[in-house]
Amino acid sequence: ILLATRWFLENNPFSEFVVADRQWAASSNAFSGKVYLDDDSFLSIPRLIPHLLQLTEKEATMLVMGYLMSTPLDVTVSGIDICDICKPCSKCLDDQSLRDVCAQFNLALGPCLHYISTCQIYGAEVIEQCVAEALSESQRIVDYFGSRWTPTWPLGMGWVLGSEVTRFIARNAGVLKSRGAADVQIGRYWLAGLEDVHWVDMSDGRFHDFPRRHSMFTRGCSNDSILVHRIRHDSLQSYNSHACTLDCPTEIDGEVEPS
């Protein structure tokens, strides 16, 4: 992301990357900046444009638009409660073997079960060893970034950056931290010291995953849907080329997993 941003500006020094068609660009103070999309994301330009037109000139140049998050680098400070992730809660509260494992690492039951569950998902043979390695890696990340929580960052499904934000990243591409996921990096530390960033959160149903069970950020599609992530090949069959919309389901079997 860093190198691509720098390359684009170096090779297009007098051009604007306009997120619109020519007619709109010619009739307005066109938004200039950069759009990033995951390769399985669908973006409706006609639905995006009205949101960009609402911005002042300064807001547009300093824009970071996306599904905004703020997450812990260290799960132990996240405040995860055992009763939020274990149903019924008593099953885990009364599990002495779980308590024994957690006691080894001086962990509260919530964060401890999070680590154990992750280790099980990845097929760890020795849970205690896996948890120890996860804790060590977590501390390494905390040491690298210098904090236990991230500043605001846009989820990697897609984001829109204003021209000044884009130029800031491009100018400093050689010295910004580059170890870690690009989406978290953008908010986490690339922009943490930049004044007057205009954050626009689209997590209210405008940016979301395709409506499919067990997808954490899923929503039913609606007229508010601008960016739809986790599109499969078969999902593109519902693309309406005349309206430039994706006619995807409003719900799944009467229920959509909450974001």
Cβ-in-10-Å burial (0-12, 13-18, 19+) of 29 comes to exposed
Share above pLDDT 70 across residues of the chain, in percent, rounded to a whole number: 81
What's the mean per-residue pLDDT of the chain? 81
Check pLDDT > 80 for residue 30: no
Residue 28 has a pLDDT of 39
Residues 100 and 212: their CA atoms lie apart, in Å, by 37
Predicted pLDDT of residue 67: 94
* pLDDT of the residue at 113: 93
Q: What is the pLDDT of residue 99?
A: 95
Cα distance between residue 130 and residue 34, in whole Å: 40
Segment 17-30 shows an average pLDDT of 36
pLDDT more than 90, % of the chain:
29
The model's pLDDT over 126-162, given as tens digits with 9 standing for 90+, comes to 999 999 999 998 898 888 878 888 888 888 899 998 8
pLDDT at 187: 64
- Residues 100, 102, 107, 111: is their CA dihedral positive or negative? negative
Query: Would the pLDDT of 249 be above 90?
Result: no
pLDDT at 69 over 70: yes
pLDDT tens-digit readout, 108-132: 999 999 999 889 888 889 999 999 9
Q: What is the pLDDT of residues 174-194, one digit of tens each?
A: 888 777 666 767 765 788 888
In this predicted structure, the answer to whether residue 245 has a pLDDT above a threshold of 50 is yes
Contact between 61 and 146 (Cβ < 8 Å):
no
Domain boundaries, the chain: 1-71+150-259, 75-145
**Nearest one of 100, 46, 111, 128 to 74, comparing CA atoms:** 111
CA distances from 156 to 35, 69, 153, 195 (A): 11, 10, 9, 23
Pairing, β 33-37 against β 63-69: unpaired
In 3-state terms, what secondary structure has residue 219?
Answer: coil
Phi then psi dihedrals of residue 147, to 5 deg: -160, 160
